[in-house]
Structure 1
Amino acid sequence: MNSLSVGPPARSPHAGAGPIPRPQAVAGDLVALRRRLHRIPEVGLHLPLTQAAILDELAGLPLEISTGKGLSSITAVLRGAGAGPTVLLRADMDGLPVAELAPVAFASTNGAMHACGHDLHLAALVGALRILSDRRSAFDGTVVAMFQPGEEGHDGARAMLDEGVLAAAGRPVASYGIHVFSHLDSGVFSCRAGVMMGSILNLELRFRGRGGHAARPADARNPILAASLAVQAVQGWVTQSSSPSDPVVATVGAFLAGDAPNVIPDDAILRLSIRAVTSERAGQVEEGVVGVARSVAAGYGIEVDVDRGVHLPPTRSDAAESERVRRVVTALFGADRFRELARPEMIAEDFSYVLDETGGAFVFVGAGGATPDRESNHSPRAEFDDGPLLDAARMLAALAESRLADG
């Protein structure tokens, strides 16, 4: 990582005085920051506009800041009053290649979209750093803020691990992250011990046929036909091979084939994701899906090549840290603001790599609007309520202080 600046941990006259009386005054206008970020979404590992915006927001805080070499990451280190353990807080930075259709005044117009709410994650982590900076004489130890690009299928967490984020200030004893959801009630926090989010395995299946004239299909081998039948066969096989106690999801997200109505192409491509509660189960489902696709294709004289993509482990929260989340949320906002997650979500997260290394917890934050017909994350019409931003920042700061107090 490239070092930008080193600021000594100056003492704050307000730190150590107990709960912050006016957290908004410390954290600033997080809604304005979130909407600024929402207008400039970037995709992948290289996010220069987003990185510059976050660095601008962190300027003036007593942080040791470094940036990534192979990606637009930011690592910010905040040191407390004395020696102690290290805790990591993380926010993902990237958007999705989705053209925004949400009817909001601050919508993106560049063809990408923060359709998964990462703009809220960024604003909440900036707010948490401001709160902790104001209170740094009240705790011993160190907080590392991990601003991570490339969560949406680009292996950004692994890249930051490879560049040494866990060695920025001593190995963390715990890590914490949040994820907002547009379909959950606004302002509600959820966690559970064990698996929070599933394992994901991405596949690309290339059906290799033989091109020809659309008027003479007998002289060709149409990969579109075989791929179409494989889509249905795969979905049917998954339905028959899973149970509610062992949930499995396989979704075809892309079907690429052909350029003209009168031409049979040589190839057709399916891109799909497989999701399960364990990495082992995802691997078993991969074998079944590939076997079904090849069996269908073989009946039409077509071969299938397999390109295996990202394979993420499940995202797990430690039992003790899940309980810490419940205690912190209840103390800050009341018991009605915490709901234990009943079952794992089959959405995946590369923060799982970090949690597997350090332990910790992942927290869901409801950001659904007032309308009953809420679009889900990744929809071009998804809307996120930014009302819970300050509370999310306060929770992250409180989690860090609570864990540091344990020594």
Structure 2
Amino acid sequence: MATDPRFAGLVEAARALQPRTVALRRKIHKFPERGLNLPGTQASVMHALDGLGIQVMKGEKVSSVIAVLTGARPGPTVLLRGDMDALPLQEDSGLSYASEVDGVMHACGHDTHTAMLVSAARLLTSRKEALAGRVVFMFQPGEEGYHGAKYMIDEGILDAGGRPIERAFALHITATDTSGVIRSKAGAMLAAADNFVVRITGRGGHGAIPHDALDPVPAAAAIVGALQTMVTRHISVFEPVVVTVGRLTAGTTSNIIPETAELEGTFRSLSEASRAKVREELPKLCHHVAASYGCTAEVDLHQGYPVTVNDDVIGPHVVELAGAVLGQRYAAPMPTPLMGAEDFSYVLQKVPGAFAFLGACPPGVEPADADPNHSNRVHFDESALANGVAMYAAFALDTLR
């Protein structure tokens, strides 16, 4: 594969596009948008793709962009995805191109994904004679909790190339790994993540006479502890599950026993079986613990993203491909899954493919010390973007032999 003529000069071509990649990234970074409605970002992508001679379409219900490149010969269809949305965060990075939108920031690097995918489209267009099939470029809004990938699937992204997608690939940048390194693996890459809200109701009263009240606060505290016991006693030790209570609120002042207490959290799992088990056990536990304190519990479960599962062959092949195209020092297997979640999982439920990480730790900083994704001070090494562009292009060239 290292001598494959399809990959000759690929990294050099990606580096030649670096000024365009960086310029688009910084433009999007400066004017971030959240959720499913990203009109400015959508317009920037449409403008950047204009003139390439590829088919470009807008989403109907969301601000997505779909582009289709048809190769010189017939063949399968491959999908490349880049998400476009930002986070509700006030930027404090000190960058010259920092967000100018109050309370909104590209803290997860989706601006880089968008820019890399546009440059990959430009690179692949210049090599369309080497393509036997079609490439569908998926520019997706609403990854940060809005199920944007599902909206695009419902609108027909998987048939946009005129025939079913046969392979799919997505990259995600991370500031806490060595710059330029690609990581992937077989099987589960990221967890399913679901939210829960528990409202415990007792009977309020005076802090001096708690025996005349039904205090929901100790019931809530007991539930927090019992949730961890649930994980160790109802879920197999070979099925990783993480339950986190991130909010517990009750009361208004020190001498009043409140009528209600509320807690909110997440549970994350690496299989649909363990996910279903938690969804079954968590409400029962909350009801029974609350009842033991004379209280009642109302439990709301909010389904998040499924487990992100790489194809057993394609996942490791991405690492091999990175070694062949970028060099072995830029290719590394992902040792373990992460318990974060990602809505590219919806695509991988329907199409064999892979999700991979691209390291972009800034110069002069050790990866372990770098501000992570979702920090308002996160900084990505832009020199890594050329490797991302090359990997997007290589995946398509490798699939469309």
Instruction: Give the shorter-chain TM-score range.
Output: 0.7 to 0.9
Give the aligned partner of residue 377 of structure 2: 381
Deviates more, 1:282-291 or 1:263-272: 263-272
Which residue identity is paired with 1:71? V
Alignment of 1:219-258 (within 5 A): 221-238=214-231, 245-257=238-250
Deviates more, 1:266-275 or 1:18-27: 18-27
Please state how far the C-alpha of 1:353 moved relative to its aligned partner: 1.3
Please state how far the C-alpha of 1:392 moved relative to its aligned partner: 0.2
Please state how far the C-alpha of 1:259 moved relative to its aligned partner: 6.2
Please state how far the C-alpha of 1:246 moved relative to its aligned partner: 2.8
Of the three residues 166, 171, 175, the one matched with 2:168 is 175
Give the aligned partner of residue 324 of structure 2: 331
Over 3 Å counting, the alpha-carbon distance change for 1:96 and 1:269 in structure 2 is farther
Assess if the C-alpha contact under 8 Å between 2:71 and 2:128 holds in 1.
yes
Question: What do the CA deviations read for 1:100-149 (whole angstroms, capped 9, x no partner)?
Answer: 33343333242122222211211111111111111112212110011111
Give the aligned partner of residue 77 of structure 2: 86
Give the aligned partner of residue 134 of structure 1: 126
Give the aligned partner of residue 295 of structure 2: 302
SS at match of 1:270: strand
Give the aligned partner of residue 342 of structure 1: 335
Question: What do the CA deviations read for 1:181-208 (whole angstroms, capped 9, x no partner)?
Answer: 2221221111111111122222222223
SS at match of 2:177: strand
Give the aligned partner of residue 277 of structure 1: 270
d(CA) in 1 for partners of 2:60 and 2:218?
45
Pairing 1:165–2:157 present = yes
d(CA) in 2 for partners of 1:62 and 1:255?
54
Pairing 1:71–2:67 present = no
SS at match of 1:185: coil
Which residue identity is paired with 2:127? R
d(CA) in 1 for partners of 2:375 and 2:219?
29
Over 3 Å counting, the alpha-carbon distance change for 1:341 and 1:299 in structure 2 is same
Pairing 1:402–2:395 present = no
Question: What do the CA deviations read for 1:230-257 (whole angstroms, capped 9, x no partner)?
Answer: 3343245435666764321112234455
The count of corresponding residues between Structure 1 and Structure 2 is: 391
Pairing 1:50–2:50 present = no
Give the aligned partner of residue 125 of structure 1: 117
Assess if the C-alpha contact under 8 Å between 1:27 and 1:130 holds in 2.
no
Over 3 Å counting, the alpha-carbon distance change for 1:283 and 1:381 in structure 2 is farther
Give the aligned partner of residue 310 of structure 2: 317
Please state how far the C-alpha of 1:52 moved relative to its aligned partner: 1.9
SS at match of 1:43: coil
Assess if the C-alpha contact under 8 Å between 1:40 and 1:110 holds in 2.
no
Give the aligned partner of residue 203 of structure 1: 196
Deviates more, 1:110-119 or 1:273-282: 110-119
Which residue identity is paired with 2:61? G
d(CA) in 2 for partners of 1:134 and 1:279?
42
Give the TM-score normalised by the residue count of structure 1.
0.87
Give the TM-score normalised by the residue count of structure 2.
0.88
Which 5+ residue runs of structure 1 have no aligned equivalent? 1-14
Question: What do the CA deviations read for 1:296-316 (whole angstroms, capped 9, x no partner)?
Answer: 322333222222212432212
SS at match of 2:287: helix
SS at match of 2:382: coil
Over 3 Å counting, the alpha-carbon distance change for 1:299 and 1:326 in structure 2 is same
d(CA) in 2 for partners of 1:348 and 1:19?
35
Please state how far the C-alpha of 1:55 moved relative to its aligned partner: 1.8
Over 3 Å counting, the alpha-carbon distance change for 1:244 and 1:238 in structure 2 is closer
